[in-house]
Structure 1
Amino acid sequence: MKKSKKKNKGFSLIELLIVVAIILIIAAIAIPNLLRARRSANEGSATASMRTVGSGELLYNSTNGAFGTLAQLSSDSIIDNILGSGTKSGYVFAATPDATSPALQFTATGTPQVSTGATQTGARFYFVNEMQVVRFNLGGAATSGSSAIGN
């Protein structure tokens, strides 16, 4: 007499648990690196945006006799509409002509939308003015005395 063996098809519970554990370990390693890469990309974009705003302000001033806001630069097609809206790549941007001498001075800032925690969009705060030197500060608003980014 032949005994028939029952053949099990599929995976056992322990095999599935091992696969899930391996996937979780890989995710625990990869996700922080992806978030760091995203933050770094946002900061690179913010640096480029600050340079764009700075040079755009000079162009706007040469044609209009005064520095302008982001909306004015955007409406004159000096900067793109996304940057002109004030929000781009996890940063909030603002450009303000000096109230007493708008033909001579302006300040522009770039602030991370989320500056702390796991969902941080950036750690650097940016500043540029009519001197065209992009400056940054970690953890708080950048000013004309903050560290300069190499041009």
Structure 2
Amino acid sequence: MTADDDPRNEALAAEHAAVWSYGVLAARTSSSANPALVALFTRAYRAHVGARDALLVALSKEKVAPAIASPSYPLPARLDSPAALKAAAAAVEAHCCEVYAWLVSRSTGATRIAAITALEMGAVRELGLRGTPETFPGAAELADRIGLDTGP
């Protein structure tokens, strides 16, 4: 199987983007003025690093070439307030949820279980950032994300 044929590479690409994005978002957050937000971003960063590394290991074991990380990913131009930072992080989580929902539909066994778990964890992180639950996490066509950008 090539890298292009393996649906886990879509999840890996989303995790690369999430890791990069949370690094930027945490760096743009004041740890003295907003320690709770820095802690939230740090936990999310670590969760996405773990998910990325697990995908890399799984792909490596099967000798599938992994998706390569980009040097950078798009984020909103204005990240000048805690609300803007939280909205950007919620968009990162929404994107990851969409990718993992897609992976659930294209996988079985351990891969499907891991994708379901990642989707659940992402939906919980998005809930913490949004403050309100997403109607159908991972289903953009059914989303209620009015005013939120849906991709990193």
Task: Give the TM-score, by structure 1 length.
Answer: 0.30
Q: By percentage of residues, which structure has more strand?
A: 1
Q: By percentage of residues, which structure has more helix?
A: 2
Which structure exhibits the higher relative contact order, with contacts defined as CA atoms closer than 8 Å and separated by 6 or more residues? Answer: 2
Task: Give the TM-score, by structure 2 length.
Answer: 0.30
Which has the greater radius of gyration? 1
